[in-house]
Structure 1
Amino acid sequence: MEADEERGLAEAALDDVFIDDITFPAADGYQLGATLFLPRGTKRHAVLINSATATPRRIYKGFAGYLARRGCAVLTYDYRGTGDSRQKAMVGYNQLKSLDGFKASMSDWAALDAAAAVAWMRERYKPLPLNYVGHSFGGQALGLLANNNEISRALFVAAEAGYWKLMASPERYRVYAMLNFVGLPLTKMLGYAPGWSGLGQDLPKGVFEQWVGWVMSERYLFTDPKLPGLSNFANYKGALRALCLSDDPWATRPAVGLLCSGFSSIEPEILTITPADVGAAKIGHFGFFRPEHRDTLWRGAAEWIEAAEWRPPLWPTLP
Structure 2
Amino acid sequence: MESSRVLTADGHSLAARCFKPHGGAARRAVIIACALGVPQSFYTRYATWLTQQGCVAYTFDWRGMGQSAPDNLRHYRAKLIDWALQDAPAMMELVAQRHPSLPISWFGHSMGGILFGAMPQHPQIDHVVTLGSGSGYVEHLAKPLRYVIGAFWHVIVPLSVARHGYYAGSRINAVGDLPRGIVAQWKRWCASPKFVLSEGEHIRQAYADVKLPITAVLFSDDTMASPAGIRAVHQPYTGTRVDYVNLRPQDVGARSVGHFNFFHARTGPQGWRHSLPWLGLA
TM range (shorter): over 0.9
Aligned-partner Cα distance in 2 for 1:202–1:305: 30
Aligned partner of 2:215 among 230, 241, 263? 241
Residue in structure 2 matched with residue 44 of structure 1 by the alignment: 27
Superposed counterparts of 1:146-295, under 5 Å: 146-195=120-169, 196-225=171-200, 228-295=202-269
Residue in structure 2 matched with residue 31 of structure 1 by the alignment: 13
Residue 163 of structure 1, CA deviation:
1.1
Residue 25 of structure 1, CA deviation:
0.8
Q: How many residues align?
A: 280
Kindly report the root-mean-square deviation, in angstroms, between the aligned alpha carbons of the 2 structures.
Answer: 1.7
Aligned-partner Cα distance in 2 for 1:31–1:279: 39
- Which deviates further from its counterpart, 288-297 or 37-46? 288-297
Which letter maps to 1:215? C
1:229–1:27 distance in 2 versus 1, CA, 3 Å: farther
1:130 aligns with 2:104: yes
- Answer yes or no: is the 8 Å Cα contact 1:102–1:204 preserved in 2: yes
- Answer yes or no: is the 8 Å Cα contact 2:73–2:165 preserved in 1: yes
Identity %: 29
Give unmatched runs, 5+ long, in structure 2. Answer: none
Which letter maps to 2:151? A
Residue in structure 2 matched with residue 15 of structure 1 by the alignment: none
- Which deviates further from its counterpart, 183-192 or 99-108? 183-192
- Answer yes or no: is the 8 Å Cα contact 2:135–2:141 preserved in 1: no
- Answer yes or no: is the 8 Å Cα contact 2:117–2:210 preserved in 1: yes
Task: Give runs of ≥4 in structure 1 deviating > 4 Å.
Answer: none
TM-score under structure 2 length normalisation: 0.94
Aligned-partner Cα distance in 1 for 2:245–2:119: 24
Query: For 1:104, what is the secondary structure of its paired residue?
Result: coil
- CA displacement 1:102-128 (0-9 Å, x = unmatched): 110110111111121111111211111
Give unmatched runs, 5+ long, in structure 1. Answer: 1-18, 89-97, 309-319
1:148–1:189 distance in 2 versus 1, CA, 3 Å: farther
- Answer yes or no: is the 8 Å Cα contact 2:253–2:271 preserved in 1: no
- Answer yes or no: is the 8 Å Cα contact 2:2–2:19 preserved in 1: yes
Which letter maps to 1:34? A
- Which deviates further from its counterpart, 239-248 or 167-176? 167-176
Aligned-partner Cα distance in 1 for 2:196–2:204: 8
Which letter maps to 1:208? V
